[in-house]
Structure 1
Amino acid sequence: MGFLYEPTSFTIWAIWIFILFSLMAFNEFARSTKWGGIILFFFVPLILTIFVWPKTAAIGNEYGTGTWFNWVKTYSALAGCLGFMAIRYIPSLSKKKWALCFPPLILALNILEAAIRDFQCFTFKAWNGAYVDNLWVMSGPWNIMNGIAGLLNIVTICGWTGIFVSKDKTKDMIWPDMIWPWIIAYDLWNFAYTYNCISDHSFYCGLALLLSCTIPAFFIKKGAWLQHRAQTLSLWIMFVMTVPSFADRIAPVPTTHNPVAFFILSLLSLIANVALAVYQFNKIYKNKLNPFKDEIYKETKAYKQVVEENIKHQGTVHFNA
C-alpha cells in the first residue's frame, strides 16, 4: 500500500469494500431483470442529466468531473449498456452480424478515449506533477507506454462473431472468445491508465471498479465480462458525476506520487499487452485465421467451458445480413 498509495484507515478500507460489493450487487440487479437495467441505465441517467449533472459536473468544477473526458465516458458507457440490452432482449439482433459489430466497436471506443487521455497527459509536461483540470497528474514516459498498451489492447479484441445470448433466464450477452488473457491484459492497462490520468482517484476507479467486473466474470457469470464492465463502469461514473467530492473530500486516498510506481505499472501494462498481441497473432498465423471473422480461442478449455455453460441445447447460430 505504501508504494502505490499513502497509508489509509480501516474506515476507508470499509468504504472501499462497500463500494466494491455495491457495484457488484447493482450489476446483478441490472442483469437479472430487463426492467432493472432499463431503470438504472436509462431512467436514472436521464433524470440526472436534466436535474443534477449540469450542477455537479459543470465544466471547470473544482473536482475535475467537468471535463470532456468524463462526459464522453459517461454516455459511451451508458450507450454500451443500452446497446447490449438490445442485443440481449431483441431476439433477432443477436443473430445479425451488423448488430454484433456494436460490442467490439463501443469497447474499442472506450479504450481509445482513455489511450488518447494518456497521450494528452504527456503533453501537459507536468514532469514534477501538477493540477490540470483540477486533477493531479504527473507527465512522463509512462503515458506513452500505457497509451501504446491501450492501442494494442484494441488490436487484440477478437472473436466478436461468436457473441451470443445465454439460454438461461438472465439472457446475458456472452463473448466466449474474450478469455482470461485478454481480460488480465485489459485490467493491467486500465489500472495503469487510472493511475496515470486520474491518479488520486484510482484507488476506487482503478482497483475497486476493475474488481467489480472481473470477479463476476471469473466466478459469477463467465463469458459476460464486457456486460459486467459496461454496467459497473456506468454505475461508478454516474455516482462520481453526482457526488464529485467523494474521492477528494469524503474518502480520499492519494497516490504516493512516486515516479517509479507510475513507470512500473505502465511497464507491466505494456509487457502484458505486447505478450498478448504476440501470442494472439502467432495463433492467427499458425492456424490461418481471419481475425475479423474467426474465433481464435475455440480450442481452449476456457472457451469450451463458457459455451457449455451458456449455450446448452442451442443450435449453430447463422448470421443474417
Structure 2
Amino acid sequence: MGYLYEVPGLNAWAIMLFVILTLIAFNEFGRTTKWGGILLFLIVPIILTIFVWPKTAAPNNEYGTGTWFNWVKTYSALAGCLGFMAIRFIPALAKRKWVLVFPAAILAINILEACFRDFQVYSFGLWEGGYVDNLWVMSGSWNIMNGIAGLLNIVTICGWTGIVISKDKSKDMIWPDMIWVWIIAYDLWNFAYTYNCISDHSFYAGVALLLSCTIPAFFIKKGAWLQHRASTLALWIMFVMTVPQFADQIAPVPTTHNPQAFFIVSLIALIANLALFVYQGLRIVRLKKHPLKDEIYKDTKTYQNVLAENV
C-alpha cells in the first residue's frame, strides 16, 4: 500500500472494515424492507437537509464538502434510490419499457458528473498538486485518461430493456445484462476517479465504498449491482456530508501524492474500459445485436444464472 497510500495503521484497516460492513448492513436493511428504504433514503435526508447539512456542508467549509459536486452527487444518488424503489414496488412501472430507461440514465448521469470533474481537475493546471475547495488534487494526463475511461464506461451500458423485478419478498431490481466484466471495469474507473479527484479521501470513498456494493453484487444478491451501488453511495455521501471531518481528522489515510501512481491507476482504468468497449463491440457485431435495444450477454452463463435465481 506504500505505493498508493501512506501505509495505514491497524486502526485504519479496522475502520475501513467497519465502514464496509456497516454500508453492507444498512444496504441490506434498505433493500429487504420497504419501510427501511423509505426511512434511509427519504425521511433521513429530509431531516439532514433542513437541520444538518447547511452547517456541515456549507460552501467553502474546511473539509471540502460544500462543493457543487458533493451536493449534486448526494441528491442524484438519492434520486436513484427512490426511483429504483418506485420501479420495484409499483408493478405498473416495471411493465413499461420506457420507465426502464431511468436506471440506465441515472447511472450514465452519475458517471458523466465524475468525468466532468476529472476534466475540470485537469483544467486547474495544478501540475505539482494543490488545494481546491480545501481538497488536495494534482492535475495531469491521468485526468484525461480516466475521463475517457468513464465515457467508454457509459457507452458500454447495455441491456436495460431486460431489467426485471425479482419474485422474492425484497422485490429487487435485477439487471441480468450488467455482468461482472462491466462491473469490474466500472470499479477500476471509479477508483481512479476518486484517486484523482478526492485523493486523500479515496481509501474510503474509493476502496471501501466500491467493495461495499461489489461484495453484495457477487455474493448476496446477484444481478442487483446498480441497486447496491446507489444505496451504498447515497449512504456514504450522507455520512460524509454529516461528518465531514471523518477522512481528514478522525481516520485519515492520505495518498502518497506520487504522479506515477496517479498515471498507473488511470492507465489501468482506461485499458480495462477500452478492452470492455472492444469486447462488447465484437459481440454486438458477431451476434447482430442492437446496442440500445438488445441484451448483449443473454447467451452467457452469468446472465442465465442471475435470471434463473430471480424469476
TM-score bucket of the superposed structures, by smaller chain: over 0.9
> Which digits, 9 at most, give the CA deviation of each residue in 1:137-166, with x for residues without a partner?
000000000000000000000000000100
Structure 2 counterpart of 1:251, one-letter code: A
Whether 2:71 is the aligned partner of 1:71: answer yes
Give distance in 2, aligned partners of 1:116 and 1:40.
28
Structure 1 counterpart of 2:121, one-letter code: C
SS in 2 for 1:223: coil
SS in 2 for 1:306: helix
Counterpart residue number, 2:186: 186
Q: Percent identity among equivalent residues?
A: 77
SS in 2 for 1:136: strand
Give distance in 2, aligned partners of 1:152 and 1:41.
30
Pairs within 5 Å for 1:94-113: 94-113=94-113
Give distance in 2, aligned partners of 1:174 and 1:4.
35
> Which digits, 9 at most, give the CA deviation of each residue in 1:174-196, with x for residues without a partner?
00000000000000000000000
Counterpart residue number, 1:174: 174
Structure 2 counterpart of 1:3, one-letter code: Y
Structure 2 counterpart of 1:226, one-letter code: L
Counterpart residue number, 1:23: 23
Shift of 1:35: 0.3
Give distance in 1, aligned partners of 2:265 and 2:170.
36
Counterpart residue number, 1:239: 239
SS in 2 for 1:131: strand
Counterpart residue number, 1:319: none
Structure 2 counterpart of 1:127, one-letter code: W
Counterpart residue number, 2:122: 122
> Which digits, 9 at most, give the CA deviation of each residue in 1:281-321, with x for residues without a partner?
1111111111111000000010000000001xxxxxxxxxx
Structure 2 counterpart of 1:135, one-letter code: L
Structure 2 counterpart of 1:156, one-letter code: T
Structure 1 counterpart of 2:28, one-letter code: E
Structure 1 counterpart of 2:68, one-letter code: W
Structure 2 counterpart of 1:249, one-letter code: Q
Shift of 1:232: 0.1
Give distance in 1, aligned partners of 2:100 and 2:48.
30
SS in 1 for 2:234: helix
* Gap runs ≥5 in structure 1: 312-321
Give distance in 1, aligned partners of 2:275 and 2:12.
36
Give distance in 2, aligned partners of 1:128 and 1:293.
45
Counterpart residue number, 2:92: 92
SS in 1 for 2:91: coil
Give distance in 1, aligned partners of 2:21 and 2:8.
20
Which stretch shows the higher mean deviation, 286-295 or 145-154?
Answer: 286-295
> Which digits, 9 at most, give the CA deviation of each residue in 1:208-234, with x for residues without a partner?
000000000000000000000000000
Counterpart residue number, 2:51: 51
Give distance in 2, aligned partners of 1:276 and 1:14.
34
TM-score (norm. length: structure 1): 0.96
Pairs within 5 Å for 1:205-224: 205-224=205-224
The ranges of structure 1 where at least 4 consecutive aligned residues each deviate by more than 3 angstroms after the TM superposition are none
Shift of 1:8: 1.7
Give distance in 1, aligned partners of 2:134 and 2:12.
22
> Which digits, 9 at most, give the CA deviation of each residue in 1:58-97, with x for residues without a partner?
0111100000000000000000000000000000111101
Give distance in 1, aligned partners of 2:287 and 2:21.
41
SS in 2 for 1:98: helix
Counterpart residue number, 2:14: 14
Counterpart residue number, 2:291: 291
* Gap runs ≥5 in structure 2: none
SS in 2 for 1:5: coil
Pairs within 5 Å for 1:148-163: 148-163=148-163
Counterpart residue number, 1:318: none
Structure 2 counterpart of 1:262, one-letter code: F
Shift of 1:9: 1.2
Structure 1 counterpart of 2:141, one-letter code: P
